[in-house]
Amino acid sequence: MADADPKLAAPSLDAVRARLDEIDAALLALVDERAGLARHVAAAKAAAGDGDKFALRPGRETALLRRLLARERTAARPSLVVRIWRELIGDSLSRQGPFHINVWGGKDPARSVEFARHRFGAAPPLRSVPKAEEALAAAKTPGGVGVLALAADTPWWGRLLADPKLQVFAALPCLAAWGPMTALAVAEVEVEPTGDDRTFWVTDAPGSAAAIEDVLSRDGVAGDLIAEAGGLKLFALIGFYQAGDERLARAPGRLSGVIGAAPAPLDV
């Protein structure tokens, strides 16, 4: 039997470790350069008169992550890519101005905090609050983001009908692999379509969710009930709908409206 070709032999452990050291050094240099560019972005915005605006751009972040996930990879899982860039983005935002996270987690606060860190990284300060109202109030302060659980006994999302500046812009977790939707993130930010979105719509229409979904479907609107409490129902509609959409104006309910939209999970 012929000897194996040494060129095809697997590299030694020492060689692999040496290559890892090289990659780590190169990664650190790039990460350091990227972090430094955040200061230049902040300076450019200040020069343009936008220094006081919250730097959070959910649509831009989603476009970046989708481009990265669409690139050819041989080993890096979507969760690894998303976690790394969420940390980079969160650090960059924290360098450009105020940025803080306030979490109301309902009966499982630890899970909501975990998903908030996955979404916004470790850089922004994060605190848990005992009431949903506190998270909503904090989200209205400069650089504030509220992360609130979808709890059956607290229809906090209904309050957004009376406060249109405060918008849902993210659904947590952002990867389907991490489980079903359990919380929403809100802030005073502009919500833009990303090409694959879920719009959050509230209604006080009586009757079953199935009956409401049937009426919506007759107008070409597809969606699912995701929360119900206090006589209000919260639906996630497939697609991006603006507040004045005629199809939703014809939907059932005397008190109803769009409270924001979020990108669909990044791994579907």
Q: Can you tell me the mean pLDDT for 53-73?
A: 95
pTM comes to 0.91
What is the mean pLDDT of the segment spanning 81-87?
Answer: 96
Q: Are 259 and 202 in contact (CB under 8 A)?
A: yes
CA distance 136 to 140: 7
Dump strand ranges (E) for 88-143: 100-104, 126-128
Rounded CA-CA distance 192/33 in Å is: 29
Query: If you average pLDDT over residues 7-14, what whole number do you get?
Result: 79
Per the model's pLDDT, the better-predicted residue between 47 and 214 turns out to be: 214
200, 262 Cβ separation under 8 angstroms = yes
6 pLDDT higher than 60: no
| Per-residue pLDDT, 11 | 86
pLDDT score recorded for residue 46 = 76
The Cα-based distances of 84 to 26, 34, 51, 57, 220 in angstroms read 15, 13, 26, 18, 38
pLDDT digits (tens, 9 = 90+) for 214-260: 999 999 999 999 999 989 999 999 999 998 899 999 999 999 999 99
Q: How far is Cα 204 from Cα 246, in angstroms, rounded to an integer?
A: 18
Quote the percentage of the chain above a pLDDT of 70.
96
Q: What is the SS3 assignment for 222-258?
A: CEEEEEEECCEEEEEEEECCCCCCHHHHCCCCCCEEE
pLDDT at residue number 268: 67
Q: Span 181-194, mean pLDDT?
A: 96
What is the mean pLDDT of the segment spanning 101-117?
A: 96
Question: Greater confidence, 43 or 166?
Answer: 166
